[in-house]
A and B are shown apart, each in its own frame.
Chain A
Amino acid sequence: MTNTPGPDDRPLLSAVDLHKTYGTTSALDGASLHVRAGEIVAVMGSSGSGKSTLLHCMAGIVRADAGQVRYRDRDLTTMSDAERSALRRSDFGFVFQFGQLVPELTCLENVALPLRLGGVRRREAERRAAEWLGRLEVTDVSGQRPGEVSGGQGQRVAVARALVTAPRVVFADEPTGALDSLNGEQVMRLLTEAARHTGAAVVLVTHEARVAAYADREVVVRDGRTRETVLAQR
């Protein structure tokens, strides 16, 4: 398996030779990853390997110290914070280990929120949110607040929220990390089905092999480097 795209197979999102240090701790030490449109890629590695930092850099949440992140024809590493924020809202979706839903809003309002922030009118935003809750099989929790639903239901609501804006890339960081096996499996099935349906690429960070098995391929991060990087430099 190679992670280097061919000339006719241009990646949608690329990280090249990323370096990132927190204080004296090196989180990334030459990590590279190319993701094609519609592709589901699992980024695996043990705790502290740098896999979440790689996701944060590729999503424009964190700026790498060195190296380049390209999304389509744009260079995230030279964008301003405001430009990166705008890009995240328009083109990216996020699912984290703990749903990070807004506790004061109902599940329907949570899913509608990214659309509202993007300027969609309330009625239309809630209609589309309801559609996504249905697709994620959690219509029955529409009117409930996140604190009133189970972990599995909350995570499905979070997946709906990530996909409601039709993002080109979904970043999922340990999306099943807080769930039992059965709920984790349901979330992964629904997430990957929905992503394949909409054509979104997924960067899936996980340390669980059963979760990674939902992806099209896997990349391993060890000591801040992707495995391909290590092999390529030998």
Chain B
Amino acid sequence: MAIGQTFLGLLESSPRHGYELKRLYDERFGQSRPLHYGQVYSTLARLLRGGLVEVDGVEPGAGPERKRYAITTAGVTDVERWLAQPEKPDTYLQNTLYTKVVLGLLTGRDAADILDIQRTEHLRVMRELTRRKADGDLADHLICDFALFHLEADLRWLELTAARLDQLAATLRIPAPRLDRSTP
């Protein structure tokens, strides 16, 4: 998650203090991963250095002074650019699983088991997300749906790969009998 650009987006409507940005971020986007204060202030310091935000006012308090931050014109341009830019599709999981399947085949293990174990884990997480949706509001729904659709795509890949294990083994020059799933 691009915390900097998210802060800029949250600052577009009005200037805010750091603690207020953290609260808004955690409420709307943090879900199971709230921000640490260290992250909040290091991000704001970076945005300040880059001229994307400016200090709008300083209020004295019992503790350290409380700065209020406002977005600059350059900051608005930066948010616009970020929103217009597509995200790189994440393919790391597929690569890891592919590696596991190939290694399973190469080492004489049951690659179908690797896929089944992964499917069970994917479905476990999907059940959790589905339960979270049942108890949640619309924001929870949308965030969980995003994860659910991605996990579902992984599962489709798992099923397709399970159906192609013999073919994959042949390309790796592994004797077919090892993979006969119906052999007791």
Contact = CB atoms under 8 A, between A and B. Distances in A.
A234 B184 contact: yes
Question: Which bucket holds chain B's interface residue count?
Answer: 20 to 34
Contacts of A1: 120
A209 B184 contact: no
A98 interface: no
Contacts, number: 43
A35 to B, nearest CB: 17
Scoring B122, B159, B162 by chain A CB atoms within 10 A of each residue's CB, the highest score goes to: B159
Question: Which bucket holds chain A's interface residue count?
Answer: 20 to 34
Interface string B118-155: 01101100110110001000000000000011011001
Main secondary structure of the interface of B (DSSP, over half): helix
B182 A209 contact: no
Contacts of A230: 181-182
Contact of B123 (A212, A223, A225): A212
Interface of A: 1, 46, 189, 208-210, 212-216, 218, 220, 222-223, 225, 227, 230, 233-234
Interface of B: 116, 119-120, 122-123, 126-127, 129-130, 134, 148-149, 151-152, 155-156, 159, 162-163, 181-182, 184
Given A46-B163, A210-B130, 8 more contacts: A209-B156, A210-B148, A210-B152, A212-B126, A213-B129, A215-B127, A220-B119, A223-B181
